[in-house]
Amino acid sequence: MTLMHDVAPAPAPTTQTMTMAAALNRALADAIETDPDVLVFGEDVGALGGVFRITDGLTERYGEERCFDTPLAESGIVGTAVGMAMNGLRPVIEMQFDAFALPAFEQVVSHVAKMGNRTRGAMRLPIVIRIPTGGGIGGVEHHCDSSEAYYAHTPGLTVVCPSTPQDAYSLLRAAIASPDPVIFLEPKKLYWSKGEVDTSVVAEIGSARIVREGSDVTLISYGSSVATCLEAAEIAAVEGRSVQVVDVRSLSPIDDATITAAVRATGRAVVVAEAPGYASVASEIQSRVFERCFEYLEAPVRKVTGFDTPFASPKFEHWYLPDADRVLDAIDSLHWLDENAGEA
């Protein structure tokens, strides 16, 4: 069994404008096209093309042996993927909605994450578990969770979350090529966002990127909250503040070097994420920044997150999700010490 596959670009790489949904579809098609071991399955991913149409046309193009529907049994889907990976295949499975993956959580934690360690590396599992995540679509209960902390907390799992169509394509190709299991979180809110995608670009899992330069404060985020940070940065610029934005992209492993350098350059930081703030990925980033940048900090590291409650109903989700105003309030709080330094 070959463990690490080369990330082969599409036969004729081109740069096109496409949605994140289309970029994910293209990544799956290119992976199937270039690697006979890759197969895609899950609930309604076949003829329907998935709830969000991410797998649209794959069954028609490549046949039911490469992209097929499964029973409504998430634990069975993951368990089947484990058996396939143990026998040399590279399954890419879809959990229809974020909280729908929880019935399979025992399989993920007990077997997907631990098989490599249990066998001292003799049996590695090249599985990609795609999970539509987060809010912003007016979904009801069980359809808009942000459960990244569960997976990032689990040793043995790689966890990534793109914020652009380019990263959606490149990170998914890299995830499928990985010899070890990857939790691939897809922000539902961004499925129809558009951007340029170069299919010859290969992403490196474990690397963050600077998406906006700035000198006064660093915003650190991932997924759909990156767009919120960029919106806040634009408003702050009008007010005379220069805001840097870092897209973490890889939640586990995390790129401490890029994040640390960014915060040291500005001396101030705010971590922004949709998920509840307690015991979260945002909390971990906040802690790591404090540990590595303490002597460079001009103010405490803030975080702006969802509230520590179950996700809000569709009518109220705009109150729950972090917005530019909440981010700007956090930025203002970081500069209060400077502006009031002369007061006793």
Active-site positions read 143
Residue 9 DSSP symbol? P
Residue 169 buriedness (CB in 10 A; 0-12 / 13-18 / 19+):
buried
Say if residues 150 and 104 touch (Cβ distance below 8 Å).
Answer: no
Q: Is 312 left (phi over 0), alpha (psi -120 to 50) or beta?
A: beta
Under DSSP, is residue 92 helix (H, G, I), strand (E, B) or coil?
A: strand
Task: Report the run of H or E that residue 333 belongs to, with start and end.
Answer: helix 324-339
Scanning 181-294, the segments in alpha helix (DSSP H) are 225-238, 256-266, 281-293
Q: State yes or no: cis peptide before 91, omega within 30 of 0.
A: no
φ, ψ for residue 41, nearest 5 deg: -155, 165
| Cα–Cα dist 12/25, whole Å | 17
Say if residues 194 and 165 touch (Cβ distance below 8 Å).
Answer: yes
Say if residues 288 and 254 touch (Cβ distance below 8 Å).
Answer: yes
Cα 32 to Cα 20, 40, 97, 165, 233, distances in angstroms: 18, 8, 23, 19, 39
Alpha carbons within 13 angstroms on the beta-carbon side of residue 66 total 19
Under DSSP, is residue 178 helix (H, G, I), strand (E, B) or coil?
A: coil
Structure tokens at 275: 């998920």
Q: Tokens 């590291």 map to which residue?
A: 301
Structure tokens at 268: 């101030």
